[in-house]
Amino acid sequence: MTGQDAVNTAKAFNDRLDFDGVVLTKLDGDTRGGAALSIKTVVNKPIKFVGTGEKMEAIDVFHPTRMSDRILGMGDVVTLVEKAQEQYNEEEARKLSKKIAQNKFDFNDFLAQLNQIKKMGNIKDLVGMIPGVGKAMKDVDIKDDAFKHIEAIIQSMTPAEREKPELINGSRRARIAKGSGQSIQEINKLMKQFEETRKMMRMMQDKGAMMKMMKNMPKMPGMK
């Protein structure tokens, strides 16, 4: 359905029912956005929600300002942060931070984090909300199953390997490659990424290091 059809339909329904608000569904599809921009003027009723997928979580409150931000490539950091907060669980976060401190962040945690990101919604939409990045990434084909091969690799590890990634030597890597249907290079890449993630997480958590960085920063107004 074209944007014009959608607007005309909304108008016809409103003429008869005098409804309170509009929901724009299937905004994840090949919609060109015209309906979102015309409905208010033509029908004089507000858009209240948008639907962005088939899942029960694929609903967003419609915020005109944030939508303009996105249309003009300014990103939508507010929505991004809100989505992240929705998935944030205090208890889990505390457990995780303890594991990181003890250098025990393992592949089970890695997988759990991936799942959190997936729950935040359509990956391409998420990337589009990061200012500046949306534009740069527009031609990159980000599929919703972008993490699939990573999941396959982790799922081919034994429980012991997931908990102690140090165990994963050359012969184990070969076995995992076979089990997950991925090349050995992919396994090596993931192992390297994992190591880096681990390192970075510890660094970020190391408060001492953070404080040192802060000290070297020029004084900011209002900071003691």
- Residue 144 CA to chain centroid, in angstroms? 10
Q: Give, for 39, the enclosing helix (H) or strand (E).
A: helix 34-43
Distance in angstroms (rounded) separating the CA atoms of residues 221 and 143: 43
Q: Does 56 engage in binding with other proteins (CB under 8 A)?
A: yes
Residue whose tokens read 């089990």:
179
Nearest distance from C-beta of residue 159 to other proteins, angstroms: 30
Among 54, 91, 141, 166, binds ligand GDP (CB under 6 A): 54
Residue of 163, 172, 47, 48 lying closest to 111 (CA atoms): 163
Among positions 4-43, residues that touch other proteins (CB under 8 A) are 4, 7, 9, 12-13, 16-17, 19-21, 23, 25-28, 31-38, 40-42
Among 76, 106, 109, 125, binds other proteins (CB under 8 A): 125
CA dihedral sign of residues 50, 52, 54, 56: negative
Binding site partner of 118, from other proteins, ligand GDP, none, Cβ cut-off 5-8 A by kind: none
Binding site partner of 171, from ligand GDP, other proteins, none, Cβ cut-off 5-8 A by kind: none
Describe the strand order of the beta sheet including 59-61 as a list of residue ranges: 22-24, 47-51, 59-61
Q: Which residues bind to other proteins, rule: CB under 8 A?
A: 2-4, 7, 9, 12-13, 16-17, 19-21, 23, 25-28, 31-38, 40-42, 46-49, 51-52, 54, 56-59, 61-65, 67-74, 125, 128, 134-135, 138
